[in-house]
Every structure is written in C-alpha cells, then in structure tokens.
Chain A
C-alpha cells in the first residue's frame, strides 16, 4: 500500500499540474509538486532512498513530457541526494526545516534543469524571466508544502507511508 501511494503522489501531482494548476499559476508560473514530494521523501528516508525515488519520479515526469528523457530524472535525483544528506542533522519534526528544504531545493532543481537545458541546446541564454519564474515557483512550492508536509510527516511515522518493517 505504501509503494502504491508513493507512486500515486507524483502521478496525482502531474495530473493536477497539467489541469487545475495550469489555470491558477502565479504570473503564469506553476508549482512543482513532484519535487515537493521528492524533497519530503529524501528528508525522511535519507540520501540513498531519496536519490532512487527522485530518479524514478523525474523519469516518470520525463516520460509524460515526452521530450528530453533524463533531465528531470537527474535534477530530482541530485536534489534529493543533497536533501537526504542533511537528514540526520536536522529536526524533521519542525515544519520550518521542511519549508526551507523545499525553498532551496526548488532553486537547486531549477538551476540543474537550466544547465541541462543548455547542455541539450534547448535554451541558449539566461533570461531575467527565467529567474523570476524560479522565484515564483519557490514561493508557490513552499506555500503548498505547509499542509502537505503536516500530512506527509504524520503519515510517514504513524500512517500509510510508514515503512512496513516499522509497523
């Protein structure tokens, strides 16, 4: 059941981002809920599990987008690896930690996607609009992370997302 939910979270995120959220963007900027769930997972489960989960979620997103496969897989895996590295050194029960992690992760992930887009020749120069979009997305993700983390954290220790061996 845990694995099904871990799959359904990015699935639902893409479904909502491509339908409902596309009408409620902040100045046309959409949130990245897939990244938010990847950050939560890495924060609770560590670098190794986070990297695998980030890679799989990013790959799923890439396959849905149908252009350069691997861009989101790599950026989300690397972002999750960085977040997971701090897992043992922070108070995960403090929601502020999760919000700061989401805020910085959005910046890092966007930076990686941007450099990979340069690598694949999808974009050729940095533009002020790109930076503004990254700032808007970071704020959007952080705001949405407040209710989502409250549920995710509780579910990871007491609910359906708790690893099977720990029940």
Chain B
C-alpha cells in the first residue's frame, strides 16, 4: 500500500511540477466549494470584531478617535501639497510628451480577502473575485499601502494571490530616493520579511531607505511601495550585498486588495506599437 501511494504521489508531483496556466477541474471545484464557506466565516469574524470593539473601553476608543483626527488633519495637509505637485507633474509631462505610468492610470478592481494559506509553506491570500470578474493569472495586486503580490491561479469565483513574501515570487526593485541599486526582492516564505539580493557592493543603500518596484520585471508596474531596508549584509562572494526588507503592507491584517487589471509590461506595449507600424 505504501509503495503504491509513494509511486502515485511522485507521478502527481511530476505531472504538476511544471508551471501551469490553469488549475485542474478538481482544484477548481474544491476551491469553489470552500469560497462561500470561507466568506461566511470571514464575515462572522469581521462582525464579531465590530461587536467586540463596541464593548471596548470608552476611554480607549476616545483616545483612538483623537489620534485618528490628528492623523486625518496631517493627511489633509499632505494631500494638498501632493495635489499641487501632481498638477505640476502633469503639466511638465505634457510638455515632454511623456507616457504616464502612475498608478491612477491603471484600472483597479477591488476585492475582499476571504482566506489565507492554511499551511506554513505557502504565503497567499484567496480573494472573492475570479475569472467571472475578468481576473487573469499574473495580474499585479496592490493595497493602498503598497505591493501585495501577483494573481497565481484563478477559479470561477475566486483567485489565489501569491504574496511577495512567498518563495515563488520575485520583484525587481530600486531605492526610491536615489533611484539607484537595481536589486531583486524575494519572499522568504517562512516569515513576513523580504530579502533583497544582487545589490552591488558600491551601492549607497542604507538602513531605513524606502524600496519601490523598478518596473524592469514584466510582472509589476514601477513605483509601487514595497518596504523599508532593515538590515544590510555582505554576500559570501564579497561583490554583492543583500538586505532584509520590512514590507510596508501588513499582510496579516489585509482585508481588501486592488487588482491591476490593465497592466501591460513596457515590452508588450512596444511590441504592439511595432506591429501596428
């Protein structure tokens, strides 16, 4: 019996180890059975959290309101400054006939997180939008804080979003301020920290630097916040550095995400233009 199960398991692993464009009928069916149940459990947990907060200490709540009001005022001021800068940027871009690739130029589809990976090996979220709503494998996923990940597999009613902390995900990244240091950010899979590799030894990288997507990979648009440099260490070769990056997104508390449904990598746009000409 054991020999039979070992052989069957290896056969299944062999058949499913290459990159698959679509999941099988059985996987699709199981996921669609789980989706409404997970939505229900999630809704219950969410409502329970609401009831619990009402029962919370009144003093704690009033302190939270005060802190939020203060933050709101600061954000309003920051927003005014940013709106001015954006208008200026638009004018300058139109003067230079520059193709805009800022986030507001993409179509964003909001989705609710209904569940998370049930084991410690994978880091993913399941969202309540699937192929029925036009979600496709490979679409980038963000939140208002920054980069979340990429759509890994899609069923009719739901989609699996592989987080940037997952081992299977890698993102091209640069330092936001200096616009230098092209590195690759990899998920570690076993913690919420990210690992940035391939950093040249002469890089000006330092602690607390902000890291954003470089746009060099075909998967993600550029300029999306990824995280903050926590530690820098030399690689054994001595020619390269690596860094631990703390993501800006708190993946454990993520309730909603935004899927970029209209992103086309620069090469794809170039190819389309070439074929038109």
Contacts and interface: CB of A to CB of B under 8 A. Distances in A.
- Same complex origin of A and B: yes
Interface of A: 13-23, 28-30, 32, 47-48, 51-52, 55, 59-71, 73-74, 77-78, 81, 113, 116-117, 119-123, 127, 129-130, 133, 137
B16 A64 contact: no
Given A22-B115, A52-B1, A64-B31, A70 B167 contact: no
Contact of A15 (B16, B41, B45, B168): B41
Contacts of B192: 28
Given A17-B119, A18-B115, A74-B6, A66 B153 contact: yes
A63 B26 CA distance: 7
Contact of A14 (B26, B34, B153, B188): B34
Contacts of A123: 167, 189
A32 B13 contact: no
B268 interface: no
Interface stretch (B83-91, B120-128, B258-266): B120-128
A137 B188 CA distance: 18
B5 A65 contact: no
B37 interface: yes
Interface residues of B, number: 46
Contacts of B126: 18
B134 interface: no
Given A66-B31, A70-B11, 16 more contacts: A15-B41, A28-B120, A30-B119, A30-B120, A55-B5, A65-B118, A69-B15, A69-B27, A74-B5, A74-B9, A74-B13, A78-B5, A113-B121, A123-B167, A123-B189, A137-B120
Interface string B24-45: 1011001100100110011001
Contacts of A51: 1-2, 5
B178 interface: no
A73 to B, nearest CB: 5
A19 B13 contact: no
A32 B119 contact: yes
Interface string B1-27: 110011011111101110000011011
Contact of A77 (B5, B15, B45): B5
A113 to B, nearest CB: 6
B34 A64 contact: yes
Contacts of A48: 1
B16 A67 contact: yes
Contacts of B233: none
Contact of B27 (A55, A66, A71, A130): A66
B27 A63 contact: yes
Given A70-B10, A70-B13, A28 B38 contact: no
B250 to A, nearest CB: 12
Contacts of A32: 119
A18 B45 contact: no
